Each structure stands twice: as C-alpha cells, then as structure tokens.
Amino acid sequence: MSMLDEAVLPVLPVETDEFASNPAPFLEEARKQHPWLARFSQGYFVHGYQATCDLLADDENLHSGFGPVIDFYEARGTMWGRFMDEIIMARPGNSEGHKRLRASINKAFTPRRANDARDMMHQIITRLLDEWAPKGRFDFAEFASYIPISVVCGLLGVSTDEIPRIRSALESQLLSVTLDPAAKPLFMAGWDVMWEFADALVKDREAGGALDEGALLDTLILAEHSGQIDPTELRFMVLTLLFGGYDTTKNQLTMTMKLAVENPEIYERCADDLKYCGKVVEEALRHTPTVSPFRRAARDFTYEGIRFREGDTLVIATPLAGHDPSVFAEAESFDPARANANRHVGFGRGAHICVGQFVAKAILEESLHLIAGRIRHPKIEGRLEWRSILGAYGLNSLPIAFDAG
C-alpha cells in the first residue's frame, strides 16, 4: 500500500492542448506505470474505468463540493457563495440534504417525462434550424448552446423572449471556473440576473392558478408547499437545472456532432433513423463524455492499494474512462454498433448520477436526427480549440460549412 502523495504515478500534461486533443498516446504510456491513477500539476486524477465507477459511487469516503472555488473568490457570505455551497451537486451524496433535494426533483425527470417532452424539443430544434441552416456555415458550438437552454426553459414554462438574457447570464457563470479574480464581477453580475429571474419565475407561477404535478416548475413549487424544500432551495433548484443542463448538453452535442461529421456514413444514417441516433449518442458518451467530477476525501480510506488522507482531492476523468482497454475494445474507434457502449460513465455513477440524463439523451437524439436532415454534407473548417479535460471538456468552437437541406 502507498500513501497517495508517495505513490509512484505517471505525470500527465492534462492542461495542454496536445493532451486534450488526443489523450490516447499519453494514457497508453501512463497505464504502464499505474492502471488507474495519475498525477497532474495541481493534483491527481482517476482514468481507469472500474476505479471511476467505484470512486464516483463511494459517497461515504468521497464528497463533492465547491468550497475551494468559493474561498478563492472570497465569496463566503454572498448569495453566489451560498448557492455554490448548497446546490445538490455540492452536497455529500450520503447526506440528508442531498437525499431530500434529489427526492424533490426525481419524479420530474423519469424516462417517461423525458419522452413526453420530445414534441416540444422537436419544435424548438426545428425553429432554430429554420433560423440557422440557411447560413451555410456557422460555429456549431454556438448554435448548439441555444438548444438545451431553450428546452430547459420550455420545461420550466419560461417565455422564449427570456432566453438570450438567461443564456448570457449562464455564459458568465462559466467564467468562475477560470479562477481569475478579474472574472468575479462578471459572474457575480450574471448571478444577480439569474437570481432575479428565478425569483420572478416562481412568484409569477405561484400567483398564476392551480399547480399541475406533471409540470417541472409546479413539481418543485409543490415540493416547497409540502415542506420538502424551502423557498431558497426552490429557487436554487430552478437555477441548478439551468446550470446543470446548459454547458454539459451544449458540449456533448458539439462533441457528438464532431464525431458524426468525421464519419459521414454514420452522419447520413442519422438523418433517416432516429433509433440509430440513440446508438450514436450512447457511443459518443462512451468515446468523449464531457464532465469530470471533482471529489474530496471526507476521511482516511484505502482503495486498490492507495491510502487517501482526509482532504485529498481527485478529478475523476470520465472522458478517459471510456478508453480503458480492459473494458472497451478498440476504444479509439467510434463505433455506434459497439455492444457495451451503454456502460459509459458520461452521466456519472452513484448518488449524484445525472438527474437530467433522460432529458439530455432525448435532446441529443432529437437534435442529431433533425440536424443531419437539414445540415447536409458538413465539413469541419479550421483548427479545433479544445477545453481542458479538467472540469468541462469539449470544444470551444466547431466551425462547419455545409449544404443547407
């Protein structure tokens, strides 16, 4: 057994563009030194498949949370700091608070409810394509960003007029991960917009007549009325769904598009076959998922010969777990017929497993199907700019040129 800081581990240049654009050769070397764990300039990260599943599901020993980010910005005592500390993703998976918040939304995110929303998704994506497809070339990542926000706003009953304002406030929140003090006034101003928006949304709905258990916002308001969550938790939850669904789905859709465009026969088939899109989406979640959760040891514990001390931190790199050769054969190839693609960890594992996963999958499938029908023969133009694998992986932009269908 080795203490974490004394273990002989490979060092990986995870912050570099070279690593982000093609981690495979680095990982192949790293695995020769350690099968599932590596070091990087600021800490440790897990890349093995089994370790990813086990450690994400270990709510007793490992907790999530954004404490270091809140402290970095000296934001304790602000509403933003409180939000970052109290949202569902930040609460220990084994805590009463997490279970209570999760119970308040679980019934609004079943596979059936996600399927019921497909008509609405179809209309939103068609409307966006009517506006964007005639252009012949655009940044796909920018286009993709309008889809999840429009869908989550649709689920919450928000007017489409509000979308540009909310989208820009959400974009400002992404600046907080840069750990750049200059970003603070920008994301704090965006946060004020978000908070006022959530407060007005809830108040308008409460003044607007009988609540319907089948509607997302009403489900949350009813949870507040029954005492399951308090008024602040209700507003935080509305914002969490916007935050949780926005950048993640935009990145995953952009990555799925990249993988499909690079394989024209796969892309073409997506236009004709919605069911096939499900396989493409699943394989993209296996090949390049985009969220790398962060965990901190809540106490001393040992896992597979490594002794962790309370306070040790880990990045759990789901984009790398899907390339573990002991689970996925020929992991570099993108193959929607892969029999075990559905073992992907793109939505996490354990108590924090993505609550919006069925909605996200429905958005990705419907988008891919409709996009492939309207954006014909797409080609990627120019050099791709990658985001780091730490945090929200993906592409900053995906410039494409195409024939408008």
Q: Which of residues 147-206 bind ligand HEM (CB under 6 A)?
A: 148, 152
Closest distance between ligand HEM and the C-beta of residue 297, in Å? 15
CA dihedral 167, 377, 253, 178 (to 10 degrees): -60
Q: Which is nearer to ligand HEM, 172 or 256 (CB)?
A: 256
Amino acid at 53: C
Q: Taking CB under 6 A as the rule, does residue 354 contact ligand HEM?
A: yes
Give the SS3 label for residue 136: coil
Identity of the residue, 4 or 316, whose beta carbon is nearer to ligand HEM in the bound complex: 316
Residue type for position 168 = S
User: Which segment (11-19, 204-212, 236-244, 261-269) binds ligand HEM by CB under 6 A?
Assistant: 236-244
Contact flag: residue 298 with ligand HEM (CB under 6 A): no
Q: Which of 63, 113, 286, 352 binds ligand HEM (CB under 6 A)?
A: 352
Q: Supply φ then ψ for residue 28, to 5 degrees.
A: -60, -45
Sheet strand arrangement including 375-380: 137-139, 399-404, 375-380
Q: What does the alpha-carbon distance between residue 309 and residue 312 come to, in Å, rounded to a whole number?
A: 6
5-13, 171-179, 240-248, 260-268 -> range binding ligand HEM (CB under 6 A):
240-248
Contacts of ligand HEM in 272-291 (CB under 6 A): 289-291
Query: Minimum Å distance from CB 205 to ligand HEM?
Result: 18
With 0-12 CB in 10 A as exposed, 13-18 as middle and 19+ as buried, what is 131? exposed
DSSP string, 206-266: HTSS---TTSHHHHHHHHHHTTSS-HHHHHHHHHHHHHHHHHHHHHHHHHHHHHHHTSHHH
Residues touching ligand HEM, count (CB under 6 A) = 27
* Block residue for tokens 């920008």: 186
Report which of 72, 100, 70 is spatially closest to residue 83, judged by C-alpha positions.
Answer: 70
Residue from 347, 362, 370, 402 in contact with ligand HEM (CB under 6 A): 347
Q: Is 348 in the site for ligand HEM (CB under 6 A)?
A: yes
Binding window for ligand HEM (CB under 6 A); candidates: 20-28, 203-211, 355-363, 390-398: 355-363
Q: How far is the CB of 8 from ligand HEM (least distance, A)?
A: 28
Tell me whether residue 186 or residue 353 sits nearer to ligand HEM (CB atom).
353
CB of 209 to ligand HEM, least distance (A): 25
Among 229, 360, 362, 371, binds ligand HEM (CB under 6 A): 360
Contact predicate 229/104, CB 8 Å: yes
Binding mask 53-72 for ligand HEM (x = CB under 6 A): ---x-------x--------
What is the strand order of the sheet 2-3 is part of? Answer: 2-3, 306-308, 301-303
Tell me how far apart the alpha carbons of residues 357 and 165 are, in angstroms, rounded to a whole number: 25
Contact pick of 48, 65, 190, 245 for ligand HEM (by CB under 6 A) = 245
Which has the closest alpha carbon to 150: 348, 357, 367?
Answer: 367
| 172 vs 249, beta carbon nearer ligand HEM | 249
- Site residues (vs ligand HEM, CB under 6 A): 56, 64, 88-89, 102, 148, 152, 240-241, 244-245, 248-249, 252, 289-291, 293, 346-348, 352, 354-356, 359-360
